[in-house]
Amino acid sequence: MDQNQELKVNTMADLMAKGESPEILFWVGCAGSFDDRAKKVSKAFVKILNALEINYAILGTEESCTGDPAKRAGNEFLFQMQAMGNIQVLNAYEIKKIVTTCPHCFNTLKNEYPSLGGNYEVIHHSQYLQSLINEGKLKIEGGEFQGKKISFHDPCYLGRANGEYEAPRNLIEELDADLVELKRCKTNGLCCGAGGAQMFKESEKGNKEINEERMEDVIEAKAEIVAVGCPFCMTMLSDGVKSKEKEKEIKVYDLSELIADSI
């Protein structure tokens, strides 16, 4: 499969023109569309979907921000404007099932949209990949991550907000990697420092950045790789690695990148 073939992605408009509908809609999100690091995560997830010949599509230019940052920053009016626009598009395409690589999109689509008329089955990519393994569609061979010490940093909107802790860890164990837990994990996990729209504003007064505090947990766990399931966490932890000057010792990867390398 060549690179161009590998990254062939249908839009909903393409499929509708053919009279077809996808099994899932891949909600790419703002970060996955525009942030250079997060774009690699989108490509890795697409690589998996294409390799398994999953029938999926994206909205492309019809996709807008879910409104999560606006809502968390307190601008409910802007949130509802964004949400209603997206719901109109999704409902027009009769979308039933959405998979996203961003827990902020996941949480907002799943929990905030129903009251505005947007009712969908919404799944985080860690859960979706786990379901593909359970169904026997996705088979993982350890690849370069076999035996590596990998810690998983729980995203707030996947873990504490939606109670999903096991799917990401199961994926890491499927890699035949050595899962080493951070001292603050699962229900006691520590935010990367970007949630609640903090990603887009200057830090408030304090004596330490949250992502630096989090990196101290990673260093203490002696992890070689920090696995994340969120583009915000990706940015904050990557910056944390740089601030601690540990770029050679510690790498930050999204779960989909670990899996894409190992199929």
Chain centroid, CA 142 distance in Å: 21
In a domain, 135, yes or no: no
- pLDDT tens digits for range 148-201: 999 999 999 999 999 999 999 999 999 999 999 999 999 999 999 887 777 777
Which backbone phi and psi does 84 adopt, to 5 degrees? -65, -40
**Separation of alpha carbons 235 and 181, rounded Å:** 20
In a domain, 145, yes or no: yes
Q: Within this chain, do residues 144 and 254 fall inside the same structural domain, yes or no?
A: yes
- For the CA atoms of 161, 186, 255, 263, the dihedral, rounded to the nearest 10 degrees, stands at -120
Predicted pLDDT of residue 2? 42
Which DSSP symbol is given to 153?
A: P
* Contact predicate 23/97, CB 8 Å: yes
Q: Within this chain, do residues 227 and 184 fall inside the same structural domain, yes or no?
A: yes
Domain harbouring 154, CATH code: 3.40.50
**Separation of alpha carbons 177 and 174, rounded Å:** 7
Range of the domain at 20: 3-130
Name the domain count of the chain: 2
Predicted pLDDT of residue 6? 52
Burial of 36 per CB tally in 10 Å (0-12, 13-18, 19+): exposed
Q: Within this chain, do residues 83 and 161 fall inside the same structural domain, yes or no?
A: no
- pLDDT tens digits for range 76-112: 999 999 999 999 999 999 999 999 999 999 999 999 9
Q: How many CA atoms lie within 13 A of 113 on its CB side?
A: 27
Q: Within this chain, do residues 90 and 157 fall inside the same structural domain, yes or no?
A: no
How many Å is the Cα radius of gyration of the chain?
Answer: 18
H or E segment and range at residue 24 = strand 24-27
**Separation of alpha carbons 231 and 38, rounded Å:** 6
Of 130, 158, 177, which marks where a domain is finished? 130
Q: Within this chain, do residues 25 and 108 fall inside the same structural domain, yes or no?
A: yes
Q: Within this chain, do residues 215 and 155 fall inside the same structural domain, yes or no?
A: yes
What token pair was written down for 27? 């909600």
Of 73, 108, 130, which marks where a domain is finished? 130
Single pTM value for the model: 0.94
Q: Within this chain, do residues 150 and 61 fall inside the same structural domain, yes or no?
A: no
H or E segment and range at residue 228 = strand 225-228
Q: Within this chain, do residues 114 and 167 fall inside the same structural domain, yes or no?
A: no
What's the one-letter identity of residue 15? L
